[in-house]
Chains A and B, each alone.
Chain A
Amino acid sequence: DVKVTQSSRYLVKRTGEKVFLECVQDMDHENMFWYRQDPGLGLRLIYFSYDVKMKEKGDIPEGYSVSREKKERFSLILESASTNQTSMYLCASEALYNEQFFGPGTRLTVL
């Protein structure tokens, strides 16, 4: 079974803090994604990566950056957290036929 893990289920941070969200997959997938999910807005793509050290902007990259130093690990970084970044963050890893496997999500609250 594909396993995608995220570093935290719940996280509370203060405005202005730098926040790291980690995602690890164990299936040697090339492609990995970061989404955020908000009520009424569905899933929105922040960044994705098709290979180590490679990244592409999604639909809402502002305020975020990513890092992919190893194939299995894709990190999302909030450089200076703001209250409008309070959300559920979902990482996904993509298999051969474009099936995406999601982690359990991190519910981030920025105070």
Chain B
Amino acid sequence: DAKTTQPPSMDCAEGRAANLPCNHSTISGNEYVYWYRQIHSQGPQYIIHGLKNNETNEMASLIITEDRKSSTLILPHATLRDTAVYYCIVRAGGSQGNLIFGKGTKLSVKP
């Protein structure tokens, strides 16, 4: 069952912020939000994760709404190398087993 909903595709101009939305309206209290991306022909790359507070690392920022039903991944200054499929995944902390990747959002960064 799909636990997240993402737009199938988005465009972003190089140098601009890319804001990728994710809806997870049925998220449980112990579930984290994880973001991954996959550049063509490469393995998925972990980006960031959070529970309820906003998070930032060297790659991106994650903004989670107060009700935790949606989140936004922000790439502050998108480059052509950020063109990839971005996946939003919810999963209980401490759970065992595989990640379930949905269809994700295909982000195209254009010059």
Binding site for B on A (CB under 8 A): 4, 31, 33, 35, 42-43, 45, 48, 50, 58-59, 90, 92, 97-105, 107
Please count how many residues in chain B sit with their CB below 8 Å of the partner chain's CB atoms: 20
Query: Given A42-B103, A90-B43, A102-B44, 4 more contacts at CB 8 Å?
Result: A92-B44, A92-B99, A97-B32, A102-B45
The answer to whether B44 and A90 have CB atoms under 8 Å apart is yes
- Chain A neighbourhood of B96, CB < 8 A: 31, 50
Q: Which of A31, A90, A99, A107 contacts B46 (CB 8 A)?
A: A99
B96 CB → nearest A CB, Å: 7
Number of inter-chain CB pairs below 8 Å: 51
The answer to whether B95 and A98 have CB atoms under 8 Å apart is yes
The answer to whether B98 and A102 have CB atoms under 8 Å apart is no
Interface positions, chain B 38-89, Cβ under 8 Å from A, are 41-46, 49
- Chain A neighbourhood of B102, CB < 8 A: 42
A105 CB → nearest B CB, Å: 5
Complex Cα gap A58–B45 (Å): 21
B22 CB → nearest A CB, Å: 17
